[in-house]
Structure 1
Amino acid sequence: MRTAFTELVGVEHPLAGFNRTPAVVAEVSRAGALGVLGATMYSPEELDEQLTWIEEQLGGRPYGVDLMVPASTTQQDLNTLVTDLRSQIPDDHRRFVDGLLEKYDIPPVSENDALDRLGRIDASLETNMDTAIVSELLDVAFSHRIALVANALGTPPPAMLERAKAQGVPVAALVGKREHAEKQLAAGVDLIVAQGTEAGGHTGNVATMVLTPEVVEIAGDVPVLAAGGIASGPQLAAALALGAAGGWAGSVWLSSHEDAASQVIKEKLLEATSSDTVVSTTRTGKSARQLRSAWTDEWQAPGAPSPLPMPLQSMLVREAWERIDVTAEKGSGPARELESFFVGQVVGSFRGLRSTAEIVQDIVEVCEARLAELGRLVEPVQR
């Protein structure tokens, strides 16, 4: 299949696979699609290491990286900034989280138990608004052979767009509304990812079926990828039928062997139905679709405080989630009740763990078959 997207980034299949695990990214690209590394929680040094490793696996095949580059950054000293932000967290919220951990018997994390894996957040990354850090991350990304750079936070700043264009790297941006797409197009992005509410992580309230054609209508020559609910061949075929140049898949890779999620999280995902997700602000301060659990239910209970805005909420709950993850992996039932992860409504289609390569192959082959079937529905015009 050849589309404007495959031509733009040089891949065989009109599919982008977004994941925070380098092994998944590499396998998606090896299978002929475009692996995109979700790198918002890496330090510059870690990002350099991961991109180097990915390139070693790919032998020149294209891949992309997704960063969080705010339109404006701060010149304030980072330690001072973090201290100031933490001082804005109300004591009532701290007491609520402490009480929640006590209720579910979640002990503190010792040095021996501390997680050393993807998802970890240190003080320097709690805001990602520091000028030096953002600049270093961009330096690292553009020092590698990336085929695409995506911005996970609003419109890419002019400096990012100028640098990408100078180096011939297409810039992608995620949108959840038509008006967001209008701003991105005016800024000059090369690819729009129209993400419907079905998607995992930060998402809006417009469905993919509605959002995609709205964005395609105004995008002109700029390719559009449909995101949210893209986990199978028929869903990719539907995206193409809506006028998209391909699909952007994220949640489906959580059902891969290569994804870094813990065994506890994967077990819960395999048990879930498509109705077992909830859009909640309780992890980051912004609306994000995730697996419903005791954690999200407790924040909805009478007397619970309202979640704080980003980045205060993520700073409030960062340590709590590390404690929950560690305790759940040790076999704690109460911790398992709290355990959750960002995932879209396609979680209900997970039937078991597969290799990333198998997932890509299945999506592409079934998509091609479905498109052929649809083509046979149209009878030749008799003249």
Structure 2
Amino acid sequence: MQDNTPVFDTALTRLLGCRHPVISAGMGGPARAELAVAVSEAGGFGLLGMVGEAPEVIECEIAAVRATTSQPFGVNLIPFRTDPALLDAQLDVCRAAQVPAMCFFWNVMPDVVKRAKDAGALVLWQVGSLDEALAAQQAGVDAVIAQGVEAGGHVRGRIGIMALLPELTQRLHVPVVASGGFATGGGLIAALALGAAGIHCGTLFVATHESFAHDYHKQRIVDARAGDTVHTDVYAINWPPGSPVRVLANSVTREAGDHLFGNHPHVLPREEIAHDDQGPIYKFSTISPLRDTVGDMEKMALFAGESSALVERCAPAAEVIARLMNEAADAAARVRAASAH
């Protein structure tokens, strides 16, 4: 069937070989093969969130994507919080599978960029500042993802995306992708107007049918209003100290009161509140609820960005992307009409 969705040809679509300048974030847990396939099949660029996963799991997820689609996709890893031996094995699996693209996050590591490039993969690195962006470009990445403080999950950015984005696009010669606060076609047009080559969305795709997130997490995003998220490091277990996140407000963030920051993962108590097929999940853990999670999900890390206020319902990923692109076309037409007067 012919796809009549409006097309915005950008440096990102040309680089990645996708139809639309929309990347689904490689969220550890929710972003498995089902979501990556749905996004890539719909013309976006799907990332597998393989943070901390065993090589065998990554191999299986890559195979599952390839068994379902011939469209390009990528794998997301976080070297900063991965044991070096495990990271080596993860990179080896991606190299053997000839993954077309790899996305990384947190501290820029030039040796990791080189390994991925030597394996023939395109490399994207998500950053939170100009200095990190310049370091990533110097290391040889093909594109930079600029993360604003509005973003959900682990947050590297410290300033708003509308200030960070133009600072990066004015200084870099590689494509820059905007992340944090984007869930509408109007947002895509705003990002393009500021020099971005596309947008990187996490919260929007958590609340899709294909996401492996638990239905409770999805519904909390749908129900969220502006101001319902909290920037904090109270969810710290499993990550190094000083790694803030953005989550939906809950009983844990309310109990934290004035102590939303300065929480150390090795000091926080180990109180089991839930479990999944990987074992127990502790209060203050960075593990979010997935389809197979059982327990007190209200207390878990319900990762969500400020764009959660813009997510009105849970829908198939293809429908989400089609809506984004149709909204973008309408927004672009409104801009043209306004400038004609």
TM exceeding 0.5: yes
Corresponding residue of 2:105:
152
- Larger helix proportion of the pair: 1
Corresponding residue of 2:209:
257
Q: Distance in 1 between matches of 2:308 and 2:14?
A: 30
Question: Which of structure 1's runs of 4+ aligned residues deviate more than 6 A?
Answer: none
Q: CA deviation at 1:336?
A: 5.1
Corresponding residue of 2:46:
35
Please point out which of 339, 353, 364 is paired with 2:325: 364
> What letter corresponds to residue 288 of structure 1 in structure 2?
V
Q: Distance in 1 between matches of 2:14 and 2:271?
A: 40
**Contact in 2 for aligned 1:69/1:157 (Cα 8 Å):** no
- Larger strand proportion of the pair: 2
- Provide Cα deviations, 1:255-309, integer angstroms capped at 9, x if missing partner: 111112222222322222121100110112411111111112222368x995105
**Contact in 1 for aligned 2:32/2:61 (Cα 8 Å):** no
Corresponding residue of 2:34:
23
Counterpart of 1:61 in 2: which secondary structure? Answer: coil
Gaps of 5+ in 2: 1-7, 275-280, 284-288
**Contact in 2 for aligned 1:154/1:173 (Cα 8 Å):** no
Which has the higher Rg, Structure 1 or Structure 2? 1
- Provide Cα deviations, 1:136-169, integer angstroms capped at 9, x if missing partner: 00011122242221112211332x3223333432
Counterpart of 1:36 in 2: which secondary structure? Answer: strand
Corresponding residue of 2:177:
225
Corresponding residue of 1:13:
20
Q: Distance in 2 between matches of 1:318 and 1:132?
A: 29
Corresponding residue of 1:135:
88
Count of aligned pairs: 312
Task: Confirm or deny that 1:300 pairs with 2:257.
Answer: yes
**Contact in 2 for aligned 1:256/1:356 (Cα 8 Å):** yes
Give the root-mean-square deviation of aligned CA atoms.
Answer: 2.5
> What letter corresponds to residue 326 of structure 2 in structure 1?
E
Kindly report which structure 2 residues correspond to 1:45-194, keeping only aligned pairs within 5 A, or say none. 45-58=56-69, 60-70=70-80, 128-129=82-83, 131-158=84-111, 160-194=112-146
Could you say if the C-alpha distance between residues 318 and 48 of structure 1 is closer, same or farther in structure 2, counting changes exceeding 3 Å?
farther
Counterpart of 2:338 in 1: which secondary structure? Answer: coil
Deviates more, 1:164-173 or 1:244-253: 164-173
Corresponding residue of 1:210:
163
Corresponding residue of 1:89:
none
Higher relative contact order (CA 8 A, sep 6+): 1
Q: Distance in 1 between matches of 2:271 and 2:148?
A: 27
Gaps of 5+ in 1: 71-126
Q: Distance in 1 between matches of 2:269 and 2:87?
A: 23
> What letter corresponds to residue 328 of structure 2 in structure 1?
C
Identity of aligned residues (%): 29
TM-score (structure 2 length as normaliser): 0.84
Counterpart of 1:219 in 2: which secondary structure? Answer: coil
Corresponding residue of 2:191:
239
Corresponding residue of 1:273:
225
Q: CA deviation at 1:182?
A: 1.7
TM-score (structure 1 length as normaliser): 0.75
- Provide Cα deviations, 1:46-95, integer angstroms capped at 9, x if missing partner: 1111111011111x21001111123xxxxxxxxxxxxxxxxxxxxxxxxx
**Contact in 1 for aligned 2:41/2:71 (Cα 8 Å):** yes
Task: Confirm or deny that 1:348 pairs with 2:309.
Answer: yes
- Provide Cα deviations, 1:85-120, integer angstroms capped at 9, x if missing partner: xxxxxxxxxxxxxxxxxxxxxxxxxxxxxxxxxxxx
Q: CA deviation at 1:342?
A: 1.0
